[in-house]
Amino acid sequence: MRKVPKIKELFLRDYLVLGPTLFSVIFIGLALYFYFVDHNLNGFYGLSVLGVISILVVLVRLYILKKLFQTGIDVSGKITKVSFYRGMCRFTMEFDYDSQHIKTSWIANKNQATRDIRNIVDVKVLANPRRPKQAVILDLFKQ
C-alpha cells in the first residue's frame, strides 16, 4: 500500500484542495462581517452556506485523493500539454491502461514543482483503476 502524502503536500499540489479552502475562509470572514458589523442576517446566512459548501468540496476532494493514493495504480504516461493561468497549472496527460488509451487532465497549483516538471515528458501517473480518467501526476508528490 502506498503512503498517502501529508495534508500539507496535498494542499500545496492540488488546486481543487487549496482553491475552495481559500474561498471558504473568505466566505466565512465576510459572513462574520455581515453578522457582527453590518447586522445583515441575509448576508450572514448566504455566505455561511457558501463557506460550508466550500469546506465540503475540500473534504470530498481530500477523501478522493486519499482513496486514489491507497487504491490507485502506477502507470507510465506522457505530459502532452501544460498551461499556466494565474495560480493554477493544467496538465494534460496520456497513458495506456487496460488496453485503453486514456487522455485526461489535472489542475495543480502553480509552484516551483509544477514549473520544474513541465519540461519532463515521461512521468509516472497515479490512476484510479475504476475510473482511469481520475489521475494525478505521481512524480509531483514526494514518496
| Domain ranges (residues) in the chain | 7-70, 72-140
**Is a pLDDT exceeding 90 seen at residue 115?**
no
Rounded-to-integer distance, Cα 33 and Cα 102, Å: 47
The tens digit of pLDDT for each residue in 9-57 reads 999 899 999 999 999 999 999 999 999 999 999 999 999 999 999 999 9
pTM recorded for the entire structure: 0.87
1 pLDDT tier (thresholds 50, 70, 90): low
Q: CB pairs under 8 A, 24+ apart, for 61-64?
A: 61/14, 61/16, 61/17, 61/20, 62/7, 62/10, 62/17, 64/134
Q: Where are the alpha helices (DSSP H) in 83-141?
A: 112-117
Rounded-to-integer distance, Cα 125 and Cα 5, Å: 15
The β-bridge partners of 105 are 92
Please, which residues have CB within 8 angstroms of residue 128's CB and are 6 or more apart in sequence? 67, 68, 71, 72, 134, 135
Contact 106, 135 (CB under 8 A): yes
User: Can you give the pLDDT at residue 72?
Assistant: 94
